[in-house]
Amino acid sequence: MRRREITSSLFWMFIGLILTIWSLTYPLGSLAQPGSGFLPLGLGILLLIFSAVLLMRALRQTAPTEEKVRMLPARWVNLALTVIVLVVAVFLFEKVGYLLIFFAIALVLPLLAGQITFRRSLIFAVLSAVGVYVIFVWLLKQPLPTGFLER
């Protein structure tokens, strides 16, 4: 419990520090005419103060209930792969087109969640791609990129 609190308050302190320094690169202005760095600087300083209070409270905590926190959840590989699949999909989306990308997402993600056969997931992927086409492109006429399948 306690370690978690310390880590997160240190994280916010770090963010506060970056924000403070970064906002100093923008014009600060005066109280009569605040510039674009005025509010971010204030936010950065407040964030520093608040995270310091959080840190102090975490340090002062006598932690009898020091439970074991596993920093990496059991299925972190699947989690990370899900995120990676999505990010890759983002970068290929406009080149490859929506149909293939959505097909690929719908094929891979159920497999990552587990407890499903490849065949069922294939059927699911085909259905999802067709469903997206029917609802979004055919009915709602959303302009989705067609990629290299373009006529």
Partner 1 sequence: MKLSIVGLLTGLAVAVFLCGPGYAQEDVSRFPSKPITYIVPVTPGTGTDLSVRLIAKEAEKFLKQPIVVVNKPGGALTLGTAAIATAKPDGYTIGFSGGPPLFLTPLLEKVPYDPIKDIRTIMQYGGFNFGVYVKGDSPFKTFKDLIAYARQNPKKATYGTVGVNGMPNIMMEEVAKREKVQITHIPFKGTSEGQTALLGGHTIFGAGDFSASLVEAKEIRLLMMLKDEPSAEYPGVPTLKELYNLPYPMSITIITQRNVPDAIVKKLDDAFAKAMKEPAFINGMKELQLPIIYRSGKELDPYVLQSYNYFSKALKEMGAIK
Partner 2 sequence: MDFFSNLALGFGIALTIKNLSFCFLGVLIGTLIGVLPGIGPVATISLLLPTTFGMEPVTSIIMLCGVYYGAMYGGSTTSILVNIPGEAASVVTCLDGYQMARKGRAGPALGISAFGSFIGGTLSIIGLMLLSPLLARMALKFGPPEFFALMLLGLAMVTYLCRGPVLKGLVMALAGLAISCVGQDQISGTTRFTLDSITLMDGMGIVPVAMGLFGIAEVLTNLEQIVKQDILAERVTGIFPTLKDWSDSMWPIIRGSFIGFFVSILPGAGTVIPTFMAYTVEKRISKHPEKFGTGAIEGVAAPETANNAAAAGSMVTLLSLGLPSSVGMAILLGAFIIHGIQPGPLLIAKHPDLFWGTIASMYVGNVMLLVLNLPLIGLWIKILKIPYNLLFPLIVLFCFLGAYSLNNNIYDVLVMIIFGVFGYLMRKYEYEGAPFLLALVLGPMLENAFRQSLIYGDPFIFFNRPITAVLICVSLFLLISPLFKTFSQKRKTIEKVLEEGE
Residues 13, 107, 129, 132: which binds partner 1 (CB under 8 A)? 107
**Cα gap 11→72, rounded to integer Å:** 18
CB of 50 to partner 2, least distance (A): 5
Beta carbon nearer to partner 2, 140 or 151: 140
Beta carbon nearer to partner 2, 117 or 151: 117
Write out 100-142 in H/E/C secondary structure: HHHHHHHHHHHHHHCCCCHHHHHHHHHHHHHHHHHHHHHHCCC
Classify residue 143 by burial, with Cβ atoms within 10 Å: 0-12, 13-18, 19+.
Answer: exposed
What is the contact surface with partner 2 in residues (CB under 8 A)?
Answer: 4-5, 7-8, 12, 15, 19, 22-23, 26-27, 31-40, 43-44, 46-47, 50-51, 53-54, 57, 73-76, 78-79, 82-83, 86-87, 89-90, 93-94, 102, 105-106, 109-110, 112-116, 124, 128, 132, 135-136, 140-144
